[in-house]
Structure 1
Amino acid sequence: MTASRKSSLPVCLKSGNICRSPIAEAVFRKMATEAGVVDNWVIDSGATSDWNVGSLPDTRGLACLKKHGIETSHRARQVTKEDFKSFEYILCMDESNLSELNRKAKSVKDYKAKIELLGSYDPQNQRIIKDPYYGSDEDFEKVYEQCVRCCKVFLERNS
């Protein structure tokens, strides 16, 4: 990553980088591509747990993205200590993620990442992006819609 590129890393926990965070990553990548700024960004996603490392996103999330014309080849991964140094923004989905990431960051010397809720960018002020894993297709759609709202504002403020 070059110094001139910005970077974002959406993070979730409960489902281990297979639901919310890959949806946010794919939405943000599409928006950055459409805005012509994708080359200015390093975009990835991760989880605080290692539960599903190497797995594709949840099939319901993939179906939701496909419905909206978005493809992803993401594979689940766990957040590393290096991520706290190399990513400018680590955008988590809920208070539990925020707490865990702040705890992990304390063990990383000279980390630079700004750790915050992706929902803090939601113009509808829905700060928590709820985990849809135990829900329905409608719950994945709600996550998608919230990610669209949040990523739009995040991109506008940071491009």
Structure 2
Amino acid sequence: MNDAISQQDPVKMAGGQQSVLFVCLGNICRSPIAEAIFRKLVTDRGITSKWMVDSAGVIDFNVGNSPDSRALSCLRQHDTETAHKARQVAKNDFLTFDYMLCMDESNLRDLKKMAAKVQNFKSEIKLLGSFDPQNHLIIQDPYYGTEADFEEVYEQCLRCCTAFLETTT
């Protein structure tokens, strides 16, 4: 079971803690980058106790793997670390997380299809790019690209996560 979920404190949740799950296809590129950025943002602002943050993929292909080495390298270049291990979106996520922010329209369709099978789900499912002040709605998968593509994902996720945090706190 995911540590972020299993260690959830119902008292904290009732006390105003918010939760966000970042989602991409395999949970080794875009969503762990977004998760690491968001964790750093809430840490730098001293509000880690107010947020439960995680990431997952819509497929199970990479479960248990570390993020792509290029994603880790990109994060390190921005003084951001992660110990994340890939996992797949689970039914319980729809009942646990306030927000499920995904990277592209395919992820969005997959999440909505999964959510339709969960009774009384509470998650607000949106594209992370919907928060981009530069209006780039889709965060492209850099997996088959170069280090420059990972940097572009980082910059877009930083803009989006910053704007998302500002609208929710």
1:144 is displaced (CA, Å) by 0.1
After superposition, what is the alpha-carbon deviation per residue over 1:116-137, rounded to whole angstroms, capped at 9, x for unaligned? 0000000000000000000000
For normalisation by structure 1, the TM-score amounts to: 0.98
Instruction: Give 1:10's match in structure 2, choosing from 22, 47, 69.
Output: 22
Is structure 2 residue 86 aligned with structure 1 residue 76?
A: yes
1:35 is displaced (CA, Å) by 1.1
After superposition, what is the alpha-carbon deviation per residue over 1:68-92, rounded to whole angstroms, capped at 9, x for unaligned? 0001000000000000000000000
| Partner residue, 1:136 | 146
After superposition, what is the alpha-carbon deviation per residue over 1:128-157, rounded to whole angstroms, capped at 9, x for unaligned? 000000000000000000000000000001
| Partner residue, 2:4 | none
Note the residue ranges of structure 1 that are not aligned, 5 or more in a row: none
The one-letter code sitting in structure 2 at the alignment partner of 1:18 is I
1:38 is displaced (CA, Å) by 1.3
Q: Distance in 1 between matches of 2:111 and 2:74?
A: 27
SS in 2 for 1:9: strand
Q: Distance in 2 between matches of 1:155 and 1:94?
A: 20
Q: Distance in 1 between matches of 2:44 and 2:131?
A: 19
Is structure 2 residue 108 aligned with structure 1 residue 98?
A: yes
Q: Distance in 1 between matches of 2:126 and 2:34?
A: 14
Identity of aligned residues (%): 57
Is structure 2 residue 40 aligned with structure 1 residue 30?
A: yes
Q: Distance in 2 between matches of 1:56 and 1:95?
A: 24
The one-letter code sitting in structure 1 at the alignment partner of 2:17 is R
Q: Distance in 2 between matches of 1:31 and 1:84?
A: 24
1:9 is displaced (CA, Å) by 0.4
1:46 is displaced (CA, Å) by 0.1
| Partner residue, 1:153 | 163
1:36 is displaced (CA, Å) by 1.1
Q: Distance in 2 between matches of 1:61 and 1:94?
A: 18
Using CA pairs under 8 Å that are at least 6 residues apart, name the structure with larger relative contact order, 1 or 2.
Answer: 1
Instruction: Give 1:56's match in structure 2, choosing from 59, 66, 74.
Output: 66
| Partner residue, 2:5 | none
After superposition, what is the alpha-carbon deviation per residue over 1:11-70, rounded to whole angstroms, capped at 9, x for unaligned? 001xx1000000000000000111111110000000000000000000000000000000
